[in-house]
Amino acid sequence: MAKSERVSVAKTYKLYIGGKFPRSESGRSYPVTSESGAFLANASQASRKDLRDAVVAARSAFGGWSGATAYNRGQVLYRVAEVMEGRREQFIAEVRDAENVRPRTAESLVDTAIDRWVWYAGWTDKLAAVLGGTNPVAGPYFSFTVPEPTGVVGVLAPQRSSLLGLVSVLAPVLATGCTAVVVSSAARPLPAITLSEVLATSDIPGGVVNLLTGHAAELGSWLASHADVNALDLTGADAEHRTELARSAADTVKRVLRAPEDEPDWTSSPGIGRMRAYLEDKTVWHPMGV
């Protein structure tokens, strides 16, 4: 009898909320295909309720994550790079399928994504020195300014760059000590879900990152109007929805990142603009005297 070929175990791709992997409460899913139309998987189609659960999880996780030492956050982010490295082949295959790029390009994108975590990991305990400082006020007071994380950040992740783009918008949120609710690329969500599995096993506390697959056009408006979201990254929003989302964000005075009109080249050096956008300067005063 001929030896039969082993049947692989196919994965069910789910959401990532509060450190767990639930399906959408709505029960909805949508098929994800490769550029050539081949079926890859069914992704969960997150709903408004999923998004609200994700915001609750992100808010609950904020105290712990923002209160962790910068050294600790740095190590955790570095750990993400370590765990990603171990799954390098899987990411390369998923990015290749998702973005329809040559294997060599996929390799380079994944390597850059891993290196981004290392870069951001090193920032956690340097931001205060680079952006804060003591203020030489004209009086008998000691005054200093420290950058603090703004809170929960809503991220509409890039639609095209499924992994490097996602890491480029997510890592700066985490490096500052903020927590995130991310809506992944709608058409290319699979590398994002695999990344959430990496995050779940990298000592990132549950709820610090919540990753929803689905449509930015549907979820974006709930994210923009949610009163417990402090900042909003519109990178993955359609050009025609951006104004409306930014307008809705104004009702709670959210910090809205000025998304570039077209998706940027994520392989270029990131700079600290994104981290700056998620940081609040806090100035503290105390009298000096005997």
Partner 1 sequence: MPVFDYAPAPENREIARVKQYYQPFIGGGFVDGGGEPLKTLNPATGEVLAEVSTVASSDVDSAVTAARKAFERVWSPMPGAERAKYIYRIARLIQERARELAVLESLDNGKPIKESRDADIPTAAAHFFYHAGWADKLDYAGFSTSTAGPPQPLGVAGQVIPWNFPLLMLAWKIAPALATGNTVVLKPAETTPLTALVFAEICQQAELPPGVVNIVPGAGDVGEMLVTHPGIDKVAFTGSTEVGKLIQRQLAGTRTRLTLELGGKAANVVFDDAPLDQAIEGIVNGIFFNQGHVCCAGSRLLVQESVADEVLAKLRARVETLRLGDPLDKNTDIGAINSAEQLAKIRELVASGEDEGAQRWTSSCPVPEKGYFFAPTVFSGVESSMRIAREEIFGPVLSVQTFRTPDEAVTKANTTPYGLSAGVWTEKGSRILWLSNALRAGVVWANTFNRFDPSAPFGGYKESGFGREGGRSGLAAYLKGADDGEV
Give the binding site for partner 1 (CB under 8 A). Answer: 130-131, 133, 135-139, 141, 143, 145, 150-151, 168, 227, 230, 233, 242-244, 246-247, 249-253, 255-258, 260, 264, 269-271, 273-274, 276-278, 280-287
Burial of 89 from C-beta contacts in 10 A (0-12 / 13-18 / 19+): exposed
34 three-state secondary structure: coil
Q: Which of 54, 33, 94 is nearest to 212 (CA)?
A: 54
Q: Which of 208, 82, 230 is nearest to 152 (CA)?
A: 230
Rounded CA gap, 233 and 170, in Å?
A: 10
**DSSP calls for 216-283:** HHHHHHHHHH-TT--EEE-TTS-HHHHHHHHHHHHTTT-EEE---SS---TTS---SHHHHHTEEEEE
Q: Given the complex with partner 1, which of 7 and 138 has the nearer CB atom? A: 138
Q: Given the complex with partner 1, which of 57 and 275 has the nearer CB atom? A: 275
Quote the least distance from Cβ 235 to partner 1, whole Å.
9
Quote the least distance from Cβ 12 to partner 1, whole Å.
34
Q: Given the complex with partner 1, which of 169 and 193 has the nearer CB atom? A: 169
Q: Which of 180, 151, 104 is nearest to 169 (CA)?
A: 180
Q: Given the complex with partner 1, which of 4 and 268 has the nearer CB atom? A: 268
Quote the least distance from Cβ 232 to partner 1, whole Å.
11
CA dihedral 68, 72, 73, 78 (to 10 degrees): -170
Quote the least distance from Cβ 226 to partner 1, whole Å.
13
Quote the least distance from Cβ 57 to partner 1, whole Å.
19
| Dihedral sign from CA coordinates of 81, 268, 177, 238 | negative
Q: Given the complex with partner 1, which of 14 and 274 has the nearer CB atom? A: 274
Q: Given the complex with partner 1, which of 35 and 137 has the nearer CB atom? A: 137
Quote the least distance from Cβ 117 to partner 1, whole Å.
17
Query: Which runs of consecutive H residues, i.e. helices, occur in 46-123?
Result: 48-67, 70-86, 88-99, 103-121
